[in-house]
Chains A and B, each alone.
Chain A
Amino acid sequence: MNSSSRQRRLTAAAITALAVAVTATACSSSSGSTDTKGAGSGTYTIWDPYPQFDKTSDWVKLLDQCGTKAGVKIKRTAFDTSDLGNKTLLAAQQGNSPDLLIVDNPVVSTLAEAGVLTTTDDNKLDTSKVDPNLLAAGQSGGKTYGTPIGANTLALYYNKKVLKEAGVDISSVKDWKSLTAALEKVKKAGKKGITFSAIGTEEGSFQFLPWFWGAGAKLTQLDSSQAVSALSLWKDWQKNGYAPNSVQNNTQTTSWQEFASGDYAFSENGTWQLANAKKAGFDYGVLPIPGTDGGNAAAPTGGEFVTIPVQQDTGRYATSQKLVTCLTSTDNLYNTDTTLSYVAPTSEVQDKQVAANADLKPWVDAVKAAEGRTSDDLGTKYPKISEQMWKAVQSALSGSKSPKDALTSAQAAAK
């Protein structure tokens, strides 16, 4: 071992170390350079909450077609829907927002509040054909932040065979009293009553809202007597064994699986289950959710909005706007909403959907009667109210508090 060989080794080691360091910085700088998407780059990013669709799906093909039409390349990334809101906030903080964002409607007002989304004044989107009750979920402070790509809502699916065996005439189910009476008959006949999802997430609030609104309660007053009556209805169903104990941990998917077992008479579920209902192997019907004294309860609107996040380079909006217009054009909307099993947001396409598939009629009616969760200018107050609401539902159903106490503390915490 002489000094020159030693030195060579040291130099080699130094170079290696330097190379590692340089590579590390190179990595970080190259990831940094992707933020600055030049207007001329011709690649537009789209984020959507439909991970179930892969490259071969109609949805992704449609995105590519619209890209080709606008003369740009599309880079699409799919996220889990519950993840997308936070991912977008983080991306906006890094100055890395996608060009187009398709996001669950109650998230729109939060993102708008964060200043992440452009208004229709900025991006020149035409929303005049959209049903106003659906568009309301994307409006806040008198501004509109996007356009719905499709809508869905909740209704009651029922199993005709189970009801027949229990001797229930479905036309007799008109209000809460007759529904509870029907559940009692079903239980006496040895079958199971109703499943829904009362899980401690936004899904739980979404499922509770039709009963909450159906009782005449308002989101600004969680502890009203109407609200208590809605929660008591659920609680009593569970106490009397009309609804299974598992509802507290049910997502809408697991609740559907219970119904698909064929033992349950009713299931509160959404438009998106229609395709699965056909596969379930039994005769089913769909009934709008009744209000406390009859009539149809307003159900919350589900479904996503197409939005255009704020970019440093405002020149990109023109192309983004072309892309959105393409995605929400009458023909494409029809195809997309058929793929997603959604109801279209415009009457024109809704008529086309009903003409093609009469099963959709009750759903189109339900969507027309539905209300946005963030409507009435609740905006970013809604998430807080909703969290307290699902907590109250969980407290009451698990028996740790009475419906009244649970809602009283929910109202105190939501203020």
Chain B
Amino acid sequence: MKQTTHPPDHRSAGVRHGAATVAPPPGPGPKRRRPTSTQWAAWAFLAPVTLYLTLFYAYPLYRNLDLSLRNYTVRSFVQGDAPFTGLANYRKVFDDPTFAPALLHTAVFTAVCLVFQYAIGLALAVFFHQNFRLSATLRALFLVPWLLPLIVSASTWSWMLNSESGIVNAALHAIGIGPVNWLTSPSWALTSVITANIWIGVPFNLVVLYSGLQSIPTSLYEAAAIDGANAWQRFWRVTFPLLRPVSAITLLLGLIYTLKVFDIIWIMTKGGPADSSTTFATWSYQLGFGNLLPAFGPGAAVGNLLVVAALVFGLVYVRVQRKQSL
């Protein structure tokens, strides 16, 4: 066991090998070749992940950026000679009458979904944490929305909310309320897609927060109970603060999921009627693929705005994390 013990941090490994060749440590085996071979090994270990990152992250991102900076028509898309136009596509997107409503809908959709998903998820997690009989079964049932393919749940929702034959309007009718045009009225369409998305997002919050709850030691609750704290106080003084790190990551992941929600909205309303449920995600698709003559440039520009938004919130999260750990 006399040979060099490699330091745990691999970044410095390559640097130290130079020194190792000059003064080879005693030990059996061909000493000259070893450093080069480990160096090769280091590169080889790095290669798959680098290759993967370049192929599946860097290149698509670069292509998307490139698409958004050029003036693509169908002809230049195929021939690959689209002229570079700088920020013209972005300017076009910002000036579009759809921009302001889409921004507002994206913000409202994301914020409302996050708040309700988190609140309902937390309430359910605390509820299931009591471990009553059948709680495991019930909890499993709550996961169903998560397990269903999005196209199934979105189609079911749009069927339930149908103005003519939907079960929701039938139920409203039974209790004497007139029909609501859930999906076809500009004032209700956004509410309907938000409701459906909350339903889909609750299980995720439930699962993550439930596992967070389990990591809080019971002794803390016992101590609080002995000190005379009631259930409400125990929740706000013990559970909630100790859940903060888990809550932060749940909300961040939820935010990224919600920002890019496309399928539900597209299946239920196609972003309509009259753009009343258009978000950046559906607008980007609409521009790029929604009509017979695709506008790839502006579509990519809107997509990039979404990437930037997600990135900003990711950085905020990292920053908050760092502050907490200090």
Does B bind A? yes
**A residues in contact (CB < 8 Å) with B:** 1-4, 6-7, 10-11, 13-14, 17-18, 20-21, 24, 85-86, 89, 92-93, 106-107, 110-111, 113-116, 199-202, 244-246, 248-249, 258, 380, 382-384, 386-387, 391, 394-395, 397-401
Known: A13-B44, A20-B48, A249-B158. A7 touches B186 (CB 8 A): no
- Name the segment of B115-123, B136-144, B227-235, B288-296 touching the other chain: B288-296
What chain A residues lie within 8 Å of B293 (beta carbons)? 110, 380, 383-384
- B129 within 8 Å of A by Cβ? no
- Choice from A199, A395, A400 contacting B270 with Cβ under 8 Å: A199
Let me know if A400 and B274 touch, CB within 8 A.
Answer: yes
A/B pair count, beta carbons within 8 Å = 142
- For B31, the closest partner residue in chain A by CB is A3
Let me know if B78 and A386 touch, CB within 8 A.
Answer: no
Let me know if B164 and A200 touch, CB within 8 A.
Answer: no
Let me know if A14 and B29 touch, CB within 8 A.
Answer: no
- B3 within 8 Å of A by Cβ? yes
Which of B73, B77, B272: most chain A CB closer than 10 A? B272
B 174-204 binary contact with A (CB < 8 Å = 1; else 0): 0000010101111000000000000000000
- Cross-chain pairs A/B with CB under 8 angstroms, 14 sampled: A3-B28, A4-B28, A7-B37, A13-B44, A14-B37, A21-B47, A86-B289, A93-B77, A110-B292, A114-B73, A246-B165, A248-B184, A394-B272, A399-B185
Which of B28, B77, B164, B292: most chain A CB closer than 10 A? B292
Q: Which of B32-48 contact A (CB under 8 A)?
A: 34, 37-38, 40-41, 44-45, 47-48
- Choice from A14, A85, A395 contacting B274 with Cβ under 8 Å: A395
Number of interface residues of B (CB under 8 A): 48
- For A310, the closest partner residue in chain B by CB is B78
- For B180, the closest partner residue in chain A by CB is A245
Let me know if B163 and A11 touch, CB within 8 A.
Answer: no
Expressed in whole angstroms, the minimum distance between the Cβ of B70 and any Cβ of chain A is: 13
Let me know if A387 and B74 touch, CB within 8 A.
Answer: no
Let me know if A107 and B184 touch, CB within 8 A.
Answer: no
Expressed in whole angstroms, the minimum distance between the Cβ of A6 and any Cβ of chain B is: 8
Which of B3, B75, B291: most chain A CB closer than 10 A? B291
Let me know if B276 and A398 touch, CB within 8 A.
Answer: yes
**B residues in contact (CB < 8 Å) with A:** 1, 3, 27-29, 34, 37-38, 40-41, 44-45, 47-48, 51, 55, 73-75, 77-80, 158, 162-165, 179, 181, 183-186, 269-276, 289-294
- For A25, the closest partner residue in chain B by CB is B51
- For B27, the closest partner residue in chain A by CB is A3
Let me know if A13 and B45 touch, CB within 8 A.
Answer: yes
- For A95, the closest partner residue in chain B by CB is B78
Complex CA gap A399/B276 in Å reads 12
- For A97, the closest partner residue in chain B by CB is B78
Let me know if B3 and A3 touch, CB within 8 A.
Answer: yes
- Choice from A7, A85, A258 contacting B34 with Cβ under 8 Å: A7
Complex CA gap A336/B311 in Å reads 52
Known: A14-B41, A249-B158. A85 touches B28 (CB 8 A): no
What chain A residues lie within 8 Å of B75 (beta carbons)? 113-115
Known: A249-B183, A380-B293. A18 touches B44 (CB 8 A): yes
- For A254, the closest partner residue in chain B by CB is B162
- For B181, the closest partner residue in chain A by CB is A245
Expressed in whole angstroms, the minimum distance between the Cβ of B143 and any Cβ of chain A is: 29
Known: A246-B164, A383-B292. A398 touches B274 (CB 8 A): yes
Expressed in whole angstroms, the minimum distance between the Cβ of B191 and any Cβ of chain A is: 14
